[in-house]
Chain A
Amino acid sequence: MAIALLLAILLVILACVYLFIAHPVWFPAGVSAHAAGVDHQFAVAFWLLGALFVAGHIALGISLMRARRRGKVTYTQGDWRLEALWTVLIAVLFFGFNVAGVRLWSQMKFQQPESDAVQVEVTGTQFEWYFRYAGADGKLGDTDAQRFAHPEEGNPLGIDPDDPAGKDDMVSTSLVLPVGRDVDLTLRSNDVIHSLFIPAMRFKQDAVPGMSIHAHFRPMQTGEYEISCAELCGTGHYRMRASVKVVSEAEFKQWVKSKELPSTAK
């Protein structure tokens, strides 16, 4: 039985290591400014934790291998010195790893977006994402979903028709961004909690009703990337998708212009 258990543990080690090395599915390529830092920290995590996983199982295996069939068992109640050594070792490893990640979080959360950042308001609804840009006046119009929201009449967010600032607001169902410029998102919701998840940008932020939450990142490569919803929001949660289109500065200006035509603005 000892042998069988040893083999099983060996099998588990090998299969898990193989799985992570072969990784049939894995992170999409990171395309935001902070992605490289995040991916580096992930790599550190996988090596550190992977090594501890293998070491822990080898230790477990060895302890089973030493199972004595007969002969005297060394009677011991423990060993304070070993215990302290292990505690210090593991605390240093874990806290070292933790502190290494602190800077990353500070960069993501406490560095303000550049002053030329694109401002986009993101609203999650059951089960659609809306992205609102301020238009030429640079101001978003007031909204009141309870009074004005009419998805079927082209005003899903309930922009106040009497607010002049709202006249040139543009509402899009995909997030269009210029490459290399910060984007400052303001996340909102008028029904339940949703979560804007853009794997390629290493970005996720809940959109909570009653709150306007700011979050920012900088896309570094043109292309189209998928957005999903990561917070259970009801029966359509699984299909609450959208996309980010990252385009050149010129194309972005072009797109803004085309959107600003009075017919599409509202």
Chain B
Amino acid sequence: MEERSTSSTAVSTPGFLRRCVFSTDHKVVGLQYFFLSFAAVLIGTVLSLLMRIHLVWPTVSLPFFGTIKPENYLAFLTMHGTLMVFFVLSTVPQSGFGNYFLPLQLGVSEMAFPKLNAAGFWTTLLSFLILIAAFFVPGGASGAGWTQYPPLSAIANSGPGQALGTDLWLVSMGLFCVASVMGAINFITTTLKMRTPGMDLMRMPLTCWTWFVTAILSLLAFSVLLAAVILLLLDRNAGTAFFVPAGLIVSGKAVAQTGGSPLLWQHLFWFFGHPEVYIAILPGMGVTSHVLSVFSRKPVFGYRAMVWAIVAIGFLGFLVWGHHMFVSGMNPYAAFAFSALTTAIAVPSAIKTFNWIGTIWDGRIRFTTPLLFSVGFVSLFITGGLTGPLLAQPALDIYLHDTYFVVAHFHLIMAMAGLFAIFAATHFWFPKMFGRMMNERLGALHFWITFLGSYAIFMPMHLLGTAGHPRRYSELTGVQYVAAMAPLQKFVTVAAIITMSGQIIFLVNFFWSMFKGPTAPANPWECTTLEWTLPSPTPAGGFGEHVPMVNRGAYEYSAPGAETDYLMQDAPGS
């Protein structure tokens, strides 16, 4: 109640700072996360471009920078992975769109804890700035990869970026964890306690289901990473030895610590890390289900099965972390359990795919940009997903682990599928966020380039992996059989350059439409969910005094006997 009154006074005295910067309004917070990720994805993409160019043309000299040295490559690699996983894929779908649309889809104008929510954003921003600052300290940013395996990450003289750069990485991640936990508590409480009358759990849009389950995963997973990061910081700076074993000698210097276990970090990291990949993709699955239903003008096929699949994936996601550790020296008996459980998680994923195809089957499809990207998502999810059961077999993973095969696998299923969901969601909700429509022609063009480009970049990487090309190699010349793969690597780089140039179309479309696009009606796509009952763009006060009454589920498209082919959730009748 206290929170409520403060934020409504903020609305009635609209100073710019209160309104757009230090606001506790969930819509503003959502947009702040969205634009933060926008910055992160630009940096992350440029870094991947530099890596790709360096791999095949190692002598190219960059303006103001010179040639890329191995430590630069590893720093770019680590920052690319960290920015993309944390500040893009864990941020836009959940904290960006989730903050903006979870309350609106549930029919409320506020989150449960608006101040906590805003604090979450500012903590994330701080975390981002600290991460980027690492580029500018002596030695540069950390080069230990986004997985930061000790002792490489635990000992400051193990490499150029392993000094201050790695401390900054760890502090940044610690703050990110705190922010994610804040956001998660808020999402969970809002979903459980704030839903408007009639919005039963089983009437929620699938987007809300995925935001809810993702929040639970965030709460549990990020707490574990937070603990691990603190322990590693202590190992580095306070002389503890959680992860550092006895007898090490690094760069000619003896290390004093004794008694730690490098594998302990891997267990903690992947206990976080595997749920993390579902944190990154579950909201994207929700968006895909939602968009496919809207533009096929059909209910989601198997709504209940979808809900159960989301819950099953979330639960099983905590039981499979060992599949990252088949060659780590972990007890080989454990591999049986992790292998079987990983195979089990493929089943709910297959159910979801089946239901997406079932949703568009015999629909009256409207080929809008959001639909195109959602179909693209399904395609990438099939392609990237099918290599999962293969990697889940320890006898096969022994060969493919830490090769480009894995790089191909996770980029297709997580990175590219995740981005496609973000593009779908951006085109879909743009009218509600900015009051204007994005250009459909540019949207389609952008889709074609990105869809074919993603396959051109990542399919050949499977082959590099089968030929035994290890990942995280800054140059191809160190190992002879790797050097022989340069032609295929060149092909990948050319495909990446073309695909990335195609992203300019999106940038132009986005910013042009924001200011010059045709103004959007309240419900341009003829959707059923509650956010579309509000004018576009969403008014500052949300639903205001109005309390929507929900009378039906979220996907009543083409219902028999209805006048229009969509029935709003709050329309009267039953």
What residues make up the interface of A, taking CB atoms closer than 8 Å to B?
A: 1-2, 4-5, 8-9, 11-12, 15-16, 19-20, 23-28, 37-38, 41-42, 45, 49, 52-53, 56-57, 59-60, 63-64, 66-80, 82-83, 86-87, 90-91, 94-95, 97-98, 101-102, 104-105, 108-110, 126, 144-146, 149, 158, 187, 190-193, 195, 197, 199, 202-206, 208-211, 213, 226, 228-241
Among B155, B160, B335, B375: residue with most chain A CB under 10 A: B375
Q: A211-B329, A232-B149 are in contact. List 4 more A-B contacts (CB 8 A).
A: A63-B361, A90-B350, A205-B329, A239-B475
Q: Which of B100-108, B114-122, B461-469 touches A?
A: B461-469
Which chain B residues lie closer than 8 Å to A187 at the CB level? Answer: 329
Count of A-B contacts judged by CB separation below 8 Å = 331
Indicate if the CB atoms of B372 and A234 lie closer than 8 Å: no
- In the complex, A195→B479 CA distance in Å? 14
* Nearest 8 pairs of A and B residues by beta carbon: A210-B245, A239-B478, A199-B468, A78-B302, A1-B367, A67-B365, A104-B395, A238-B473
15 contacts between A and B (CB under 8 A): A53-B382, A53-B386, A56-B386, A76-B301, A78-B304, A78-B358, A79-B301, A101-B339, A104-B395, A105-B335, A105-B393, A195-B327, A206-B328, A208-B262, A237-B474
Q: A228 to B468, Cβ gap below 8 A? A: yes
Known contacts A5-B367, A76-B299; A94 and B347 CB within 8 A of each other: yes
Are B260 and A210 within 8 A (Cβ)? yes
- Given A66-B361, A67-B365, A241-B479, A23–B247 Cβ distance below 8 Å? no
**Judging by beta carbons under 8 Å apart, are A26 and B463 in contact?**
yes
Cα–Cα distance between A73 and B69 once the two chains are bound (Å): 59
Q: Is B145 interfacial (CB 8 A cutoff)?
A: yes
Name the interface residues of B31-85: CB closer than 8 Å to any CB of A: 69-71, 74
Contacting pair A66 B389 (CB below 8 A): no
B536 to chain A, nearest CB (A): 25
A238 CB contact (under 8 Å) in B254, B343, B468, B475: B475
A90 and B160 alpha carbons, distance in the complex (Å): 48
Q: Are A234's CB and B143's CB within 8 A?
A: yes
Q: A66 touching B362 by the CB < 8 A rule?
A: yes
Residue numbers in B under 8 Å from A190 (CB-CB): 247-249
For residue B392, give the distance in angstroms from its CB to the closest CB of chain A: 7
Listed in ascending order, the chain B residues whose CB lies under 8 Å from chain A are: 69-71, 74, 143-145, 149, 151-152, 155, 158-160, 245-251, 254, 260-263, 296-305, 327-329, 332, 335-336, 339-340, 343, 346-347, 350-351, 353-355, 357-358, 360-365, 367, 372, 375, 378-379, 382-383, 386-387, 389-390, 392-396, 398-399, 401-403, 444, 448, 451-452, 455, 459-460, 462-464, 466-468, 470, 472-482, 484-485, 487-488, 557-560, 565
Given the complex, which residues of B lie within 8 Å of A2, measured CB to CB? 365, 367
Judge whether A145 and B362 touch: CB under 8 Å: no
B2 to A: closest C-beta gap in Å: 42
- Given the complex of chains A and B, what is the CA–CA distance between A27 and B365 in angstroms? 43
Q: Closest residue to B556 on the A side, CB-wise? A: A75
Q: Report the separation of the CA atoms of residues A33 and B190 in the bound assembly, to the nearest whole angstrom.
A: 58
How many angstroms from the CA of A224 to the CA of B198 in the assembled complex?
A: 72
Residue in chain B with minimal CB distance to A56: B382
Chain B proximity of A114: nearest CB distance (Å): 19
* B residues near A241, Cβ cutoff 8 Å: 478-480
